Structure 1
């Protein structure tokens, strides 16, 4: 198991972390702040005997990694990365064909957080990220995921292509997003599937792309040629959802 320290910032993110059962070591709250969400955080903290510290805005600003703490910062017990097997077990428990999202060197924490949020809402069983040349689970990622990080397993793997090969042996198919692909509406994306989203600038790497069974393009009518990585992930994830329900 791999662990990473996690700082949680922002009212909703901290409330969700408490409610999901995550172990919070300490919570720092802006002195004299008494509004509804802060009172909720205080109640949740007292239920778990979490240490509450009241501090000045200057102190919170110094501690903040995102610059958007909204008067509260929590230090969680180290985040535990899931194993890919945990995601397959989750799919089995839900009696659903596995649906995983694989990210090829996503470097922007806002994109990673947004994709984890989409993965949760689209019913994906987990997100797989590479160990090198990619963002990990930072405070910005946790905040952008709007609490989804507490519910969606994230695995970190050494080699994305090798992981895909192992999953193919278990019956999974892979589709990646690329402008030169087949229109997503013309592909059969049902069954056990892994959606591969590439780097913000260069897209999916050559080896990863060659290992995909399908290459899907998103129809575009504007004057620019690509979507933000997290938006592309959302569009394709919901095409998979649509095909699963009809």
Structure 2
């Protein structure tokens, strides 16, 4: 019927005819072009092997120098005029400084901008509402400093540093120290008394945050801090390489005055002020050492205790 030709779908569109096409002579189907051989797994988008290869390339491009990435590492934002200024003065490695328009009228913010410019950091000026959004409504006083995740060394790198120095190894391990200010103070003491690095557990311990950087007074830029997946296993591996593992304990086997192994390759292990050394870490120590104190004082802060022992070890090594 003539009217049916206007019905939708009644007339086949050009180029949609099935079967043979012009040029085939009606004898064969249209040839199919092959896609070639299957690419390797590392080149197939979304494949686990491809994701692992991409992650490896990103680490190499970032210059991690063989250091192992740690779980949960995220950039940190330091807020407030005094904290930001202290971080910049201490040389904390930052990537960007965000400043609210007009905030440079404050001399602390002005100095922060000057220090950031000298360090080659990106300085971003933005409206207060935008910084409020970025910081989640936290009190920022018109300034915020972006700090990348700290690149931890591997525990074996501390042994390499000791070997290259030509001096007996001197390493401090922290067991359960959760205050980043204590960590920063220990890093500063280890650097001051010729140590080769600090080892901290990966979990349930303070990390190298901006607070730790600031407390270290910039020495964290020169002294490696390693993060151990299992501190007990790391201490045992150190012992197998010939290092003496000495734990600090108020009820130690020997007094620091009687400790005659200070000139040997040494790992000093200090626990938290409240709980002290954990059971497994204590069992991994070759000896426990106590610090002579007045009876009125029960214990010392973890960073203070480490500093006292480090100073005594350095004194004896100078005299040896």
CA distance in 2, matches of 1:11, 1:237: 30
Who is 1:187 aligned against?
Answer: 259
SS in 1 for 2:211: helix
Mapped pair 1:44 → 2:118: yes
Structure 2: segments with no counterpart, 5+ residues:
1-67
> How far off is 1:173 after superposition?
0.6
How many residues are aligned here? 235
SS in 2 for 1:85: helix
Who is 1:213 aligned against?
Answer: 286
Mapped pair 1:142 → 2:209: no
- The answer to whether the 8 A contact 2:97-2:146 is kept is yes
The normalised TM-score by structure 1 is 0.83
- Larger Rg, first or second structure (1 or 2): 2
- The answer to whether the 8 A contact 2:231-2:281 is kept is yes
- The answer to whether the 8 A contact 2:187-2:219 is kept is yes
* RMSD across aligned positions (CA): 2.8
> How far off is 1:34 after superposition?
4.2
Distance change in 2, residues 1:152/1:92 (3 Å): same
SS in 1 for 2:149: strand
CA distance in 2, matches of 1:110, 1:159: 22
Who is 2:228 aligned against?
Answer: 157
The answer to which structure, 1 or 2, has the higher relative contact order (CA under 8 A, 6+ apart) is 1
Who is 2:312 aligned against?
Answer: 239
Who is 1:15 aligned against?
Answer: 89
Distance change in 2, residues 1:204/1:13 (3 Å): same
CA distance in 1, matches of 2:263, 2:210: 34
> How far off is 1:55 after superposition?
7.3
19, 27, 30: which is aligned to 2:97?
27
Within a 5 Å distance, the mapping from 1:122-137 to structure 2 comes to 122-137=193-208
CA distance in 1, matches of 2:241, 2:201: 20
Who is 1:198 aligned against?
Answer: 271
